[in-house]
Amino acid sequence: MAVFTWTPEFTVTEGEIGFKTLISKGESGRERRRSKASTARRTFKLAFKILTNTEIDAILAFYIARKGSYESFTWTHPRTAEVVNVRFLKDGLTRDWFTANSHKTGVEFQEIFTNEL
C-alpha cells in the first residue's frame, strides 16, 4: 500500500468524527434507528502553505497515481504518530501559485477501515 509522506506546515485538523446511522420514519411518525458502523469514521484536513515545484509535483503525482479518491493509502498523523488507512476525500485537488517556485495546496483524507481495503 502506498504511503503519503508529506508533512503539513500547520497542525492537522480533524474535520469530523461521524457514525453512520440509518433513520427510517414509520407512517405513525415514529423513528427507527439502526447503526451501520460500530466505529466512528474520521476526516482530516492538511494545509501546505509553501511548497516548491518539486514538492507540489510529487503530491500531485501521488494524487493522480491513487486516481483521486479511488485507491487507499496510509498516512501517519504527525501529532499522534498513529498510522491511519485513508483515501482522498474528494476527486479534485487544487493548487495556488505565488511565485514561479512557490505553491500552496490542501488535502482532505477520509479514514477507511480494514474491511474496505
Residue 91 structural domain: 3-116
Domain count, the chain: 1
110 pLDDT higher than 90: yes
User: Would you place residue 10 in the very low, low, confident or very high pLDDT band (cuts 50, 70, 90)?
Assistant: low
Task: Choose between 112 and 12: higher pLDDT.
Answer: 112
Q: Tell me the pTM.
A: 0.78
User: Would you place residue 57 in the very low, low, confident or very high pLDDT band (cuts 50, 70, 90)?
Assistant: very high
Cell of 113: 477501515
Q: What is the CATH number of the domain that holds 38?
A: 2.40.30
- CA–CA separation, 117 and 115 (whole Å): 6
Q: Encode burial over 10-35: b for 16+ CB neighbours within 10 A, e otherwise.
A: eebeeeeeeeeeeeeeeeeeeeeeee
